[in-house]
Amino acid sequence: MRTVLVSPVLAMPLFWLCLCHNLFPVSGLCSDDQRSLLLQLKNNLTFTFQRSTKLKSWDPSNDCCRWIGVSCDKKGHVTALDLSGESITGGIDDSSSLFSLQYLQKLNLAENDFYSVIPSAFNRLENLTYLNLSYAGFVGQIPIEISQMTRLVTLDLSCFPNFRLKLENPDLRKLVQNISSIRQLYLDGVNISVAGHEWSSVLMSMHDLQEVRMAHCILSGPLDPFLSRHESLSVIVLDENNLSSAVPETFANFKFLTILSLSECKLTGTFPQKIFNIGTLLVVDVSWNDHLQGFFPDFPLGSLHTLIVSGTNFSGAFPRSIGNMRNLSHLDFSYCQFNGTIPNSLSNLTELTFLVLSYNNFTGQIPSFNMANKLTVLDLSYNGLSGSIPSSYFEGLNNLVSIDLLFNSISGSIPSSLFTLPHLQTIVLSYNRFGQLDEFTSVSSSKLTTLDLSSNNLSGPFPTSIYQLSGLSVLELSSNKLNGTMQLNKLAKFRNLTTLDLSYNNLSVEANFTNADASYFPSITELRLVSCNLKSFPGFLRNHSEMVFLDLSDNHIQGIVPNWIWKLNLAELYISHNLLTHSEGPLRNFSTYLGILDLHDNELHGQISYIPTYAEYLDFSRNTFRGSIPDSLCNALFLSLIDLSDNNISGTIPSCLFETGGSLEVLNLRKNSLMGPAVPGKISGDCSLRTLDLHQNKFDGKIPKSLSNCTSLRVLDLGQNKITDVFPCLLKNISTLQVLVLRENNLYGHIGCPNTNATWPVLQILDLAINNFSGKLPQSFFTRWQATMSHENQSAYMCGTGTDFWPWNDFWSTLVLEAMEDLVLATY
Ligand SMILES: *[C@@H]1O[C@H](CO)[C@@H](O)[C@H](O)[C@H]1NC(C)=O
Ligand SMILES: *[C@@H]1O[C@H](CO)[C@@H](O)[C@H](O)[C@H]1NC(C)=O
Ligand SMILES: *[C@@H]1O[C@H](CO)[C@@H](O)[C@H](O)[C@H]1NC(C)=O
Ligand SMILES: *[C@@H]1O[C@H](CO)[C@@H](O)[C@H](O)[C@H]1NC(C)=O
Ligand SMILES: *[C@@H]1O[C@H](CO)[C@@H](O)[C@H](O)[C@H]1NC(C)=O
Ligand SMILES: *[C@@H]1O[C@H](CO)[C@@H](O)[C@H](O)[C@H]1NC(C)=O
Ligand SMILES: *[C@@H]1O[C@H](CO)[C@@H](O)[C@H](O)[C@H]1NC(C)=O
Ligand SMILES: *[C@@H]1O[C@H](CO)[C@@H](O)[C@H](O)[C@H]1NC(C)=O
Ligand SMILES: *[C@@H]1O[C@H](CO)[C@@H](O)[C@H](O)[C@H]1NC(C)=O
Ligand SMILES: *[C@@H]1O[C@H](CO)[C@@H](O)[C@H](O)[C@H]1NC(C)=O
Ligand SMILES: *[C@@H]1O[C@H](CO)[C@@H](O)[C@H](O)[C@H]1NC(C)=O
Ligand SMILES: *[C@@H]1O[C@H](CO)[C@@H](O)[C@H](O)[C@H]1NC(C)=O
């Protein structure tokens, strides 16, 4: 039976089609010519079949009026075509069959990747009322033919500014001159670059215009006060243009305005309050106009749902009448100058979903939000809010996803009701004065991923309720007053925990569990356990090669730095202030990515045999390292600080160090046994040294001339060496110098530089003691010093000892010229 049916179908496709139609009657059957035009169009388009959703459905055996993206009229004529977001990369030029679809009224090619100019044949689509070519990758001049599409009601040519379309010829005026029916004109990102009154006057000539979007169009100002005579305008979006003008008072005369968006327009003046009286207003966004002033009026009852004034100079009190804006959903006042309290009337805003008031000077208590049960984001960070938060304040906020109260002065308990909110993912309460975390019980549905309670006054034992928050990815409790013993293994099964910081409490963290296996802390990448009374390295990290950041400073870890620690692919390792004596393997097996290594204040000995190649910051100070500085120091091209002070390092500074120039800002070799020239070789022109401290070594030779290339030098300490030279006039043009210590060398000759009145305008410490300087002390050389001298006893320039700090005035903190018996004060 089956074969009998199938064979005639295969043999007679036409018959099959007819049969099919009879079986599935449809309206608007595609006419043959329309189908073949569409198929031709499809065949000529370049697109990725798998990534297309619409074109994929264009199956020749189905009625083309049912293909996705195709709409027909009753006669089977294609009247609307939507090929937006199909990843089309080409295949439409002036000869394309697209332009033969003569019944088309609506065409959407948005969000594709054409990377070509707009074909000029669009004007063949005579009856097109809707043309959407936005973000389709078209570039270059917009063709004049678009201006001949006189029936257009909607024209959307928005583009990404990096693939700019431009309107030069035709310009904006010519483009729209003959399209009198246009209501929606979207030109975001198009290079229009005409002066203020020109684009405004073009808009005013478009009598039916209702919506204009011209964000990022290189428009210039000023905003034309007469624009408001265009009464039908309801959407005005001009973000990211350099308008450099005030918002005209007349804008309050718009009768139907719904959206006014003027973000990043360099607006000035005061935003006209009366604009808020426009009853139709839904959205106002004037964010990121630093010079725009503004105050809030008494809000009338209004329909406003979005109000964004972040990054402006809006100031004053938060209007209590905000409670009148019953539809308000999105409110962003961040980075403004508001002060006073946050009114309780906010709690009447039952539609509120997004409330951001960060970076203002709000004071007083946090109001209750429990009517705003649609709230998803609450950000009150960086204000002066104080008082405590009653637990009930967050009850019922069943949609809250994120709460951020960072940097306020809120005290009392952290309300446990927060931990029962079913959608809450982020809690950031750090830098406040919370005194305790109330233990909580039921968190079974908790989606919490970030809990940051650091820098508060939390006291008492580690809150064991936290052990229930097993979905956490970030847990920060540092800088509190938690005490007692904390067993780290209670967090070991938190599958998603990436960041854990328990530093700076009074906790004794037990991290030495022996039964640890690979399943402990499976996702951890950042662990900070500073001052946690650790006695040994947390061995469970042994195989965690994805660790990036480890800080175990200021503990009581004794003995050996285990070899496994270098194999963790760490970018930053801090193990300073412990009782470490040596490294299990040679100090050369560093992880490739190591950028910061801080070993200071231990009892480490042995040689520093290798400098990690990508190191930026190396602190080996206050240990007992010996041997010489490895030449590999010169390969560390990103090094900005190296501190080897207070060790037993000998030998010379590798001569390559300064020749490469570049990134090194701090070199501290104080208190070692280094010798040879202080700067071997020459310092190159791009020296960025800010601190060079070679105090108490055995350097000899002269003060290196090429130091004059280090024009950002602030601290130069060559004290207690064997340098034989004259006063370093070669440094006189380094105007940043704050500390110059040359004591206890073999310097001789005059202090000061010939023909120079003043140098080192910000110098604070000058120590020239115990050298062989002689002659007159040129008072005028040290300009500020002269001012001081007039108030002091003239012999006061002799300080007692090198360690005395003598506050001469705000400026000088120390001047040490002891044991300079030959010197005479010169007065000019
Ligand atoms: C379609 O592409 C073919 C070959 O790529 C070309 O010959 C033909 O002219 C194109 N047709 C249309 C209508 O663009
Ligand atoms: C275009 O629209 C006009 C007026 O509505 C109509 O008379 C004409 O037939 C349409 N042309 C096409 C090709 O649909
Ligand atoms: C143009 O099409 C895109 C993608 O479909 C859409 O997001 C946008 O709103 C459309 N523009 C207009 C004016 O309808
Ligand atoms: C607008 O129409 C007028 C009259 O038909 C014509 O002279 C002019 O060239 C047209 N402008 C553009 C830009 O097409
Ligand atoms: C807000 O507070 C900061 C710091 O307390 C202060 O510098 C600033 O002047 C204050 N601004 C206003 C508008 O009160
Ligand atoms: C808010 O700031 C203004 C201007 O800086 C000041 O005059 C006013 O006293 C402040 N109000 C409060 C409540 O701090
Ligand atoms: C909330 O609105 C009600 C009625 O509209 C009003 O009586 C009440 O005072 C408002 N609450 C606040 C805190 O403004
Ligand atoms: C960890 O994260 C994954 C992916 O985000 C999520 O599916 C899973 O539920 C999380 N695990 C826990 C214990 O929350
Ligand atoms: C923890 O600190 C509290 C005071 O905040 C103190 O009463 C208690 O004895 C301390 N506990 C431990 C174990 O040190
Ligand atoms: C961990 O260290 C503590 C304190 O030093 C010690 O009492 C305990 O026995 C150690 N636990 C293990 C498993 O090594
Ligand atoms: C400063 O650096 C330049 C370029 O590296 C070099 O030619 C010059 O000699 C240096 N200056 C001194 C005083 O050494
Ligand atoms: C030093 O200062 C005096 C008075 O200000 C001025 O006349 C003289 O030219 C200055 N000398 C130099 C070398 O700058």
Instruction: Let me know if residue 281 belongs to a domain.
Output: no
Instruction: Let me know if residue 806 belongs to a domain.
Output: no
Instruction: Let me know if residue 54 belongs to a domain.
Output: yes
- Ligand index nearest the alpha carbon of residue 371: 7
Share of the chain residues as helix, strand and coil, in percent rounded to the nearest 5: 20, 25, 55
Report how far ligand 1's centroid is from the alpha carbon of 44 (Å): 6
Q: Look at residues 803, 767, 808 and name the one whose alpha carbon lies nearest to residue 785.
A: 808
Instruction: Let me know if residue 523 belongs to a domain.
Output: no
- Ligand index nearest the alpha carbon of residue 448: 8
Tokens of 256: 């139907």
Report how far ligand 3's centroid is from the alpha carbon of 446 (Å): 38
The residue type at 625 = F
> Ligand 11, closest atom to CA 706?
14
pLDDT at 16: 38
Closest residue (by CA) to atom 13 of ligand 5?
A: 337
Q: What is the spatial distance between Cα 764 and Cα 487, in angstroms, rounded to a whole number? A: 49
Tokens of 787: 């001012």
> Ligand 10, closest atom to CA 515?
13
Write the CA distances from 461 to 73, 188, 482, integer angstroms.
74, 57, 5
DSSP-derived secondary structure letter, 588 = T
Closest residue (by CA) to atom 9 of ligand 11?
A: 706
Residue indicated by tokens 């964010």: 287
Pocket probe mutation, ligand 3, options 132, 159, 190, 211, max atoms within 8 Å of Cβ: 132
- Ligand index nearest the alpha carbon of residue 339: 6
- Ligand index nearest the alpha carbon of residue 94: 1
Q: Which residues of the chain have pLDDT under 50?
A: 1-27, 783-813, 824-828
Decide whether any atom of ligand 6 lies within 6 Å of the 340 Cβ: yes
Q: What is the spatial distance between Cα 207 and Cα 205, in angstroms, rounded to a whole number? A: 6
Angle between helices 13-23 and 2-11 (to 10 degrees): 110
Report how far ligand 9's centroid is from the alpha carbon of 487 (Å): 17
Instruction: Let me know if residue 595 belongs to a domain.
Output: no
DSSP-derived secondary structure letter, 403 = E
pTM above 0.85, yes or no: no
Q: What is the spatial distance between Cα 189 and Cα 469, in angstroms, rounded to a whole number? A: 46
Report how far ligand 12's centroid is from the alpha carbon of 730 (Å): 19
> Ligand 7, closest atom to CA 347?
13
Pocket probe mutation, ligand 4, options 141, 177, 205, max atoms within 8 Å of Cβ: 177
Decide whether any atom of ligand 12 lies within 6 Å of the 757 Cβ: yes
The residue type at 563 = N
> Ligand 11, closest atom to CA 682?
14
Instruction: Let me know if residue 549 belongs to a domain.
Output: no
Closest residue (by CA) to atom 11 of ligand 8?
A: 471
Ligand 2: residues whose CB is within 6 Å? 102-103, 127
Instruction: Let me know if residue 238 belongs to a domain.
Output: no
* Residue 11 phi, psi (nearest 5): -75, -30
- Ligand index nearest the alpha carbon of residue 537: 10
* CB-based contact 567:543 (threshold 8 Å): no
Report how far ligand 3's centroid is from the alpha carbon of 134 (Å): 7
CA 49 to chain centre: 37
Decide whether any atom of ligand 8 lies within 6 Å of the 495 Cβ: yes
Closest residue (by CA) to atom 11 of ligand 12?
A: 757
Pocket probe mutation, ligand 7, options 326, 348, 351, 352, max atoms within 8 Å of Cβ: 348
Q: Where are the beta strands (DSSP E) in 728-826?
A: 739-741, 746-749, 765-767, 772-773, 776-778, 814-816, 824-826
Q: What is the spatial distance between Cα 762 and Cα 810, in angstroms, rounded to a whole number? A: 11
pLDDT at 308: 97
Report how far ligand 2's centroid is from the alpha carbon of 127 (Å): 6
**What's the total number of domains in the chain?**
1
Report how far ligand 11's centroid is from the alpha carbon of 658 (Å): 11
Write out the residue range of the structural domain in which residue 99 sits.
11-191
User: Domain of 143: which CATH number?
Assistant: 3.80.10.10
Q: What is the spatial distance between Cα 108 and Cα 130, in angstroms, rounded to a whole number? A: 8
Residue indicated by tokens 């000088």: 812
610: Cβ–Cβ under 8 A, 6 or more apart, which residues? 586, 587, 588, 590, 630, 632
The end-to-end CA distance of the chain, in Å, is 124
Instruction: Let me know if residue 44 belongs to a domain.
Output: yes
Q: Is the dihedral of CA 388, 393, 398, 403 positive or negative?
A: negative
The residue type at 595 = G
